[in-house]
Amino acid sequence: MPLVKGNTVVADDYVHLADDAELPADGAVLVSAVRFLADPEAALSRKDKTGVIWPNNRDVDDLLPHLDRLAAVALVFPVFRDGRAYTQARLLRERFKFRGELRATGQVLRDQFVFMLRAGFDAFEVKKQSDAEAFVSVAKRYSVFYQPTGDGRITAFHRRLMHLPEGVRS
């Protein structure tokens, strides 16, 4: 499955670990929420990166005690019409200040790429190579936005304010 990060198609450093598989000592892994919550210390005490695959029907508040030690959170889009992972992404980025990799997985479709970027996602597991290539071109197409969101980009309004004389801004 192709992975898009930083507007390029890259090799995935993470291995999706089955719940019954032994935790390896080395290598980046993504574990299920069930496995992670059963024993977070086992997953987090490894020397390499650990991430969690978080379903969109679970509350992200359950991750709060561990966010500073997680390298990645993969939020699941189970079907096209279910957008709860957008809310989870914005909460993780804006309210909880998560700075690790925020990965979109599941039904990641090309017509939603810009919305996912704006919600704070920075990595995308897509089904087809053609979708990965489309993502790269879509991500480069838009550089200015009107609405503030979780991706940290400055809005068009704030860009204009930066160019006004000091006395006019206040």
Domain borders along the chain are 3-142
Please, where are the H alpha helices in 6-128?
Answer: 33-38, 40-44, 84-90, 113-119
Q: What is the pLDDT of residues 98-144, one digit of tens each?
A: 999 999 999 998 888 888 988 999 999 998 888 888 887 877 776 66
Q: By CB neighbour count within 10 A (0-12 exposed, 13-18 middle, 19+ buried), where does 71 fall?
A: middle
* Residue 108, Ramachandran bin (φ over 0: left; ψ between -120 and 50: alpha; else beta): beta
What is the DSSP annotation of 62-92?
GGGGGGGG-SEEEEEE-STT--HHHHHHHII
Residues 63/32/57/96 CA torsion (nearest 10 deg): 20
Residue in this structure with the two tokens 């192709």, named with its chain if needed? 2
Domain spanning 3-142: CATH 3.20.20.70? yes
Reduced to 3 states, what is the DSSP secondary structure of residue 45? coil
* 35-71 pLDDT, tens digit each: 999 999 999 999 999 999 999 999 999 999 999 999 9
Residue 16: phi, psi to the nearest 5? -80, 115
Higher pLDDT, 150 or 61: 61
d(CA 6, CA 114): 13
- Determine what percent of the chain is predicted with pLDDT higher than 70: 89
